[in-house]
Structure 1
Amino acid sequence: MTEERVNLRKRNKEAPVQNGHSQSEEERKPRIPEFAHRESNLTVLLENVGHIRAIYHIFVVILLMLLFDTVVFDLVERGKINVGLSAVAYGFGDVKRGAKIWLYELSCALAFYPAFRFFAAGAQLFKRNTVLQHIWTILGVLGLAAVQLALVLVPVWDLGKKHLAIASSVAVTCEMFRFAMKIHAVVATCGHRCYSGEPLPSFKQYLYFLFAPTLVYRDQYPRTKQIRWGKVVSHFVEVAAIVFYNSFLWERFILPYWSDYGKQPQVEAGTVVRGMFGCVLPGVISFLCGFYCLLHAWLNAFAEMLKFGDRLFYEDWWTMSQFSKYFRAWNRVVHSWLRDYIYMPLAPRAGRALSTLFVFIVSSLAHELILALSFGFFYPVLLIQFGVCGLLMVPLTTISGRRFPNALNLFMWFTFFLGNGILWSLYPMEYFARKNCPPSEDDSFFVPKSWSCPEIVLKPNWTFHNPILII
C-alpha cells in the first residue's frame, strides 16, 4: 500500500504540462468514482464510534426534555397537555392544496419523458436534412423551456397569489426545483443520444431517477441486494422526531421573543439584542437537525427503499477549515449537479472564477426564492449571508485554512452560530411585524416592514459608561 502511494506521488510530480500550465493539485488527485457502494459518514460513525453515539443520545435526551418542558408547562399554566402538534399542524397547514401543487409538478416531470422520446424520433427522422434538423433542434429547445417554465412559474404564481403554510410551501418549492434539476440532468446527459441513435433511457429508468436520491443521471447506479425495512422505518421515525424537535424550538425559544413583535409602536434595542443572542443556540440546533433530517435520514430512507447503493450524500463538513471544501462537502447531491451541469460546461469558456461566481448566484437565488415563497415576503438575509459573505470566505480561507486548520475550523463554527442566530431572528421579526403591525399603503412584498414597524429605541437617559475608566 505504501509503495502504491509513493508511485502515485511520483506520477503526480511528473504530471505533464498542459497549455503552458502545470496541472493543479485538484486535477492531480485521483478522481473518486461518482457512484459506488458507500454508506453515509454518520452511519459509519454511529455504528463504529461510541463517542458519536453518545452525542446522538444527547440530542435525543434534549428532544425528550423539550417534550417534558412543553407538556408540564402547558399542563401547569393552561391545564392542557401540548405535545407540539399545534405548531406542526400550523406549519403543514392546507396539506390538500400543497398535495395538488406537488401532483402538478410531478405531472410536468412525467410529461417530459414522452416529449423527449418524440423529439428523439424527429431528430432521427431529419438526420439527413441539416436544415430540418436545425429547425427541429430549435423547436426542441423551446419545448424544453416551455416544460421547465410551466413546472416553475405555475407553482410560483400560485404561492405568490395566496400564501401557503411555511412547511408545506418549503416542501412544494423544493420539489419544484428538484424536478426541474432532474429534467435538466437527463437532457444534459442524454441529449446527444437523440442524434447519435444510442439507446435512450427507458421509462423505468427515468421513473427510478425521478425518485432516486441523486440529481446526476446515469443509466445504472450501484444497487443493494435487499431492502432493510427496519432501517427505513427508523429513518422516517427520525424525520418525524426532528419535525417535532423544531416545533418545540419554535414554541419555546422563538415565539417568546418575537411573537409580540410589532404590537407596540416602539421596542427597546436591548430587547432586540437579547432576542437575537437568545436565538443563536436554538438556531444552530435547528441547523444541525435540518441537516440530519434531510441529508441523512430522509435521503437514506429513500436510498434504502430504492436499493440505491451510494449513500455518500455529504462528507465530514464539520471538520473543514476552508469554505470552498465546506460548500462541496455539505451537500454532495446538489454540489454534484451544480458542478456537472453548470460549472464544468461554463469553466472552459468563462474561466473558473466567473463560473464559481455564477454557481453561487444560481444557488443563492434558488434558496432565496424558496424562503420568499414560504414566508410570503422577500427579505434577502440568506442571499447576503450565502451569496456575498460565503463567497468572500472562499478565497479568504483557501490558504489560511491549510495553515491554521484548527483556528479556521473554530472560525467557521463561529460563523455558523452567528449566522443562524441572525436568520432565526430577522425572519421571525419580519414575519411577525407583517402580522402584528397595522396595514400601510407602503406595504410591499419586497420592502421589509420590520425596518419601519416597530421603531427600535434606546432606553430613556441611556448613556455610555467606559468600562476601562476607574472611578
Structure 2
Amino acid sequence: MSQKMPLSDVEDDTFSARTVEVKLNQIEDQTEIIEDTENNDKSAAPRHLRFRDKEFILRPSLLTERFERGPAGIIYNFFFALLLLSTIATLFKDFYEHGNPLYHFWLIVWNFEQLPITLTAWLAMFLSTILFTYYGMRFWSRIGCAKLTLFNQSPFLFAYIGYIIALFYYSLKFVFMWKLNCACSFIITCENTRFAMKVHSFVRENFCKGRRKKMNVANNRGEQKTPIDAEYDMPTLEQFIYFMFCPAFLYRDTYPRSTTREWRVVGKHLVHCLCSIYLTNLAFIHLVRPNFEQMTYEEGVPWQQLVYSIFPSIVPGAICMVALFFGLLHSWLNMFSEAMLFGDRRFYANWWNSRNMAEYYRNWNLVVHDWLYTYVYRDIALLIGSRNGLNVAQIMVFFFSAAFHEYWFGVSLRLFYPVMFTLYFVLGGIFFFVSRLIREPYIWNIAMWFNLLIGTGMFFAAYAPEWSGEGRTYYDVLGIKLHPDTCGSSESFLELKKAYDVLRRPFDRALYDKQLISQHSRTSRYEQYSASRMHSQMHERNTYGYSQQHHHDFYGENWEKYWYRHYGNSGQTSTFQEEKRRKELLQRWNKVIAIIFCFLMSYHFLSLYIIRKKRQYINSLVASDEIAKSYLRQPGYKDKAFDEDEVKHIGKILRKNIDEAKHQRKEVLDTASGINTDVWMDTVTEPVDFNSLPKIAEKHHYFDKAIPRTPWPSSHS
C-alpha cells in the first residue's frame, strides 16, 4: 500500500509546483481556506486561516469566449430576433391605439427626464473622492508620526467615517430634494455605494504605504529630504482616477492592460446596454403594468389574487434578470474595460451551472464578491477566528448584500417594504443551507432556477401592487367607480371617457384651455399652468409612479374646485412658487450641462481624430522608410552615397522604437538617444541637427559587417 506524503512534507518547498497546486486545490475545495494540518490530531491542533489574494490577469469575459467559440451565439441571435419582433409589435400597437408609434417610450422618458441634474450630482460625488480621499490620504501621509496609535490617529479616522456618512447623506438629500424618479434615484444610490466601496479599498490598500511615509518623515525630521522621501510610493492622481473608473473594486497600483482598443467594440457594448433598458421597458409595459393596474386597490386585494400574481410575474422577472445580467455585468463593464484597456474582464463565472448556492452567489458578480470577500468576510473571520468566525463572516456578507439591495430599491421606489431584504437574506439564506444537502448536480440546477424564477416573481408581485396602488390618478380612480361593471350605468363612464380624451389630445386640450380661461378671468395670469396641463403633468407622472400627498387628498374632490383653491386665487401659494422656481432652475441646469457635455465630447472626439491622423501619417512614413530618408536629406548627408541596405537598417531601428512605443501604450517614447514620435514628426517637416546619428548607429549596432560602411560626414562637410 502506498503511503501518501503528508502536507507538512509538501510545504517544505514553498515555491514548488506541487505545493502551489495543493494549496489551490484546498482553496477551491475548502471554501478558499487552507487549514494547517501538520498535526494529524485535528482536535488538538489550532486552525490557521489563510486567505487568497485577488490576482488580476489578462482574460476575456466568459460570454465573449462563448460567443466566439461556442453555442452561445445562437442564444444571442434568438434573443435579438425576439427583441426585434417585440419592437415591431409594440410600434404597430402604439400607432394603432395612440397614433404615435413611439408612445411606449413614455416610461423611459419619465425615468430619465432628470438625467442631466443627476449627472451633476454624480460629478460632485466624484470630485469629492478626489478632494477628500486622494488628497486627504496624501496630506495624512505627510504628517510625521513615529508610532501610530488609535488615539493619535482618531481625528483622521473620524474624518474618514464622517466623509462616508456625508457621501450618503448629501446624495440622498439631493434625491429627495429634486424628487428624482426611479432610474435617476437608482443611479445616485448605486453610485454612492460604488464610490464608498472604492474609497474604502483605496484607503485600505494604501494605509501601509502612508504609514511608512509618516514614519519616514518623522525619522528624517530636520534632515534634508530627497525626492524619494518627498513622494515615496503613494499613488499618483492618474492611478486614482483610473481606479475610480475601471471595473474593479480592489485597488492596485497597476492592472493588466490589453494592447489594443477598438472603439467599435465599445459602441457595440453601449448598444447592448441601451437594448437591455429598452427590453426592460417592454417587459414593464406589456407584462407587468397590465397585470397589476386591473386590481381594485381601493376595495382591497384578496390574498389569493396576490399569491396568484406571482406566477404571471415570473416571465417579466426572468426577462429583467437576464437584461440586468447581460446589460450591466457583461456589456456595461466590458464597455469600460475596452475603453480603458482593462485586461481582467472576468466579471462573472458560469453562475447558471453552479454546484451550490454559495458558488452561485460568488459567480454571479465576481467584482462585488471580491470586495466583500476581502474587506468583510476575511476581516471578520480573522477578527473572530476559528470556524465560528467563518460562519459569522458568511452571515454578515449576506446581511450587507441584502441591506444594500433593499436600500437601492427602497429609495428608488420610495417604499419601505423590505421584500428584497427578506428574499435575499431570509429566504436566500435558508436556501443557501438547504442547497448543501443536494448532491445530484441536475437536481440542484433545477432547484436553483426554481429559486431564481420564483424569487423574481415574488419581487414583482410584492412591489408592483404597492406601486400601482400608490400611483392612481383622479381619473383612474373615478373610472373604476363609474365603470359599468361597478355601477351598472354606462352614461357617466362615457362622459368621463369623453372628458379624458379631450385632456389627452393636444389640440382639444388647447381649445379646452382657451374656453376655461375665457370663462374664468382669475386664471388668466396662469395661462401656462392651465387646468388641463396640470392634469396632464400629474397624469403622466403618476400613472406609473408615486404620487404626492396632496394628490391623494384630491381624489374625492371636484377638479374645478381643486384648481381654484390652489391656482386660481389672487396670490400664488408658496408651494406653487417653489415648484415654479425648481422647474426654472432645472431647465437652466439642463441647458448648461448640455452645453458643457457637447463641448467636452467635441473636444474629446476632435483630439482623438487629430491623434489618429497623426499616427496614421507617422505609420505611413515609417512603412516607406521616409523617416530614415529624411535623415539623409539634411545638409551634410544629401551629397553622400548611402547604400540602400543602410537606409533600411536606419528605418528598421526607427520602426522598432515605434513598435515598442505602441506596445507600451506611451504617447512619447524616450530612448537613450532622445528619439521620440514628436521628433520624428518634426524631422519630416523641419531640418534638424543630425550630427548625433553616428552615436545612434553605434549604440544600436545596426551596421552589418557585410555591408560596406560609408564614412560619416563631419560637421564641417
Q: CA deviation at 1:6?
A: 12
Partner of 1:110: 130
- 1:88 matched to 2:126? The reply is no
Question: Which of residues 174, 179, 182 is equivalent to 1:163?
Answer: 179
Partner of 2:369: 335
Letter of the structure 2 residue corresponding to residue 117 of structure 1: R
Partner of 2:93: 73
Q: CA deviation at 1:46?
A: 0.7
Question: Which of residues 47, 50, 60 is equivalent to 1:39?
Answer: 60
Letter of the structure 2 residue corresponding to residue 191 of structure 1: F
SS where residue 192 of structure 1 aligns?
A: helix
* Pair 1:12–1:168, CA change in 2 (3 A): closer
* Pair 1:99–1:32, CA change in 2 (3 A): closer
Structure 1: distance between partners of 2:141 and 2:152: 10
Q: CA deviation at 1:422?
A: 1.1
Structure 2: distance between partners of 1:134 and 1:7: 38
RMSD: 3.0
Q: Is the 8 A contact 2:54 2:370 kept in 1?
A: no
Q: Could you state the TM-score of these two structures normalised by the residue count of structure 2?
A: 0.56
Structure 1: distance between partners of 2:346 and 2:354: 17
Structure 1: distance between partners of 2:309 and 2:471: 18
Partner of 2:394: 356
Q: CA deviation at 1:397?
A: 1.4
Q: CA deviation at 1:101?
A: 1.9
Higher relative contact order, chain-length normalized (CA < 8 Å, sep 6+): 1
Partner of 1:121: 142
Structure 2: distance between partners of 1:161 and 1:293: 30
Partner of 1:411: 447
Question: Which of residues 193, 205, 209 is equivalent to 2:209?
Answer: 193
- 1:326 matched to 2:360? The reply is yes
Partner of 1:138: 154
**Among the aligned pairs, what percent are the same residue?**
28
Question: Which of residues 289, 311, 315 is equivalent to 2:349?
Answer: 315
1:382-401 correspondence runs (5 A): 382-400=420-438
Q: Mark the runs of 5 or more structure 2 residues left unpaired by the alignment.
A: 1-16, 27-33, 214-231, 478-545, 547-717
Q: Is the 8 A contact 2:410 2:416 kept in 1?
A: yes
Partner of 2:596: none
Q: Is the 8 A contact 1:368 1:383 kept in 2?
A: yes
Larger radius of gyration: 2
Q: CA deviation at 1:427?
A: 1.0
Structure 1: distance between partners of 2:431 and 2:76: 30
Q: Is the 8 A contact 2:310 2:454 kept in 1?
A: no
Partner of 1:370: 408
Moved more, 103-112 or 176-185: 103-112
Q: Is the 8 A contact 1:167 1:374 kept in 2?
A: yes
Structure 1: distance between partners of 2:252 and 2:42: 33
Q: CA deviation at 1:136?
A: 4.2
SS where residue 142 of structure 2 aligns?
A: helix
Letter of the structure 2 residue corresponding to residue 143 of structure 1: A
* Pair 1:233–1:83, CA change in 2 (3 A): farther
Structure 1: distance between partners of 2:35 and 2:416: 50
Letter of the structure 1 residue corresponding to residue 316 of structure 2: P
- 1:176 matched to 2:182? The reply is no
Partner of 1:457: none
1:67-114 CA-partner distances (Å, limit 9, x unpaired): 112111122222221264211111213123312221221122111211
* Pair 1:377–1:10, CA change in 2 (3 A): closer
Q: Could you state the TM-score of these two structures normalised by the residue count of structure 1?
A: 0.84
1:100-143 CA-partner distances (Å, limit 9, x unpaired): 22122112211121111001111xx232xx48x65541111011
* Pair 1:192–1:277, CA change in 2 (3 A): same
SS where residue 377 of structure 1 aligns?
A: coil
Q: CA deviation at 1:37?
A: 0.4
Q: CA deviation at 1:266?
A: 3.8
1:321-372 CA-partner distances (Å, limit 9, x unpaired): 3101111110000000001111111102220011111111111111111111
Aligned length: 427
Q: CA deviation at 1:415?
A: 0.8
Structure 1: distance between partners of 2:285 and 2:233: 54
